[in-house]
Amino acid sequence: MNIGKSGKSFMISRSSILVNADYLIILGARVKGSVPSLSLQYRIEKAAEYLTANKHTVVIVSGGKGPGEDISEAKAMQQRLIAQGIEEARIMMEDKSTTTYENIVFSKELIPDTAASGLIVSNDFHIYRAVEIAKKEGLDMKGIPAKTPKVSLLKSYTREYLAITKYYLTELIGR
């Protein structure tokens, strides 16, 4: 059976999740004013769940400020994590990125030198490509999938299919 890229995304996102990772990166998503979109809220909730259970894991919140956003995606994530009981000292902010690629590259600079194991939190449709980009950047990471809002399932998977296609075509012809 040929499962295609989206099938791989689902399979990878359901793999066993590492306990006590050294660091976790939450990838940004849209903020409306200063309120995280539903997609971003799901990412924050999934990360907070992991961080609550794994007290030594530090987190990098990654996302810049785009049009219609009063604060950066990173700031919105930081505020929500603190509200959920995650200590501010465990949160590092990367607030310049505007793409998944930049999320990974800019967050990589913040990873502690002693860190060996890491995880990426994003919505389930996005995990496959995020992990592939991390691998290309020399990071051996697994994904923690947050659910995708039902209202945006079709749009999210369609857009991600196109993004994966673009990613591989870009790899074939070089950047």
**How far is 113 from 92, CA to CA, in rounded Å?**
14
Task: Kindly list the structural domains of the chain, giving each domain's residue range(s) and its CATH number in brackets, ordered by start.
Answer: 4-173 (3.40.50.620)
So what's the pLDDT on residue 14? 42
Output the CA angle 71-73-79, nearest 5 degrees. 75
Q: Contact, 26 vs 77, CB < 8 A?
A: yes
Phi, psi of 118 (to 5 degrees): -140, 160
Percent of the chain residues topping a pLDDT of 90: 69
So what's the pLDDT on residue 5? 41
Average pLDDT on 38-58 reads: 97
Q: Contact, 54 vs 20, CB < 8 A?
A: yes
Q: Contact, 120 vs 61, CB < 8 A?
A: no
Q: Contact, 26 vs 61, CB < 8 A?
A: yes
For the stretch 82-106, pLDDT in tens is 999 999 999 999 999 999 999 999 9
Phi, psi of 42 (to 5 degrees): -65, -40
Q: Does the pLDDT at position 40 exceed 70? A: yes
pTM of the model: 0.81
So what's the pLDDT on residue 153? 64
Cα dihedral 79, 85, 134, 69 in deg (nearest 10): -10
Indicate the DSSP class of residue 16: P
**How far is 95 from 87, CA to CA, in rounded Å?**
19
| Highest-confidence segment of 1-10, 11-20, 134-143 | 134-143
Tokens of 59: 């987190």
Tokens of 3: 């499962």
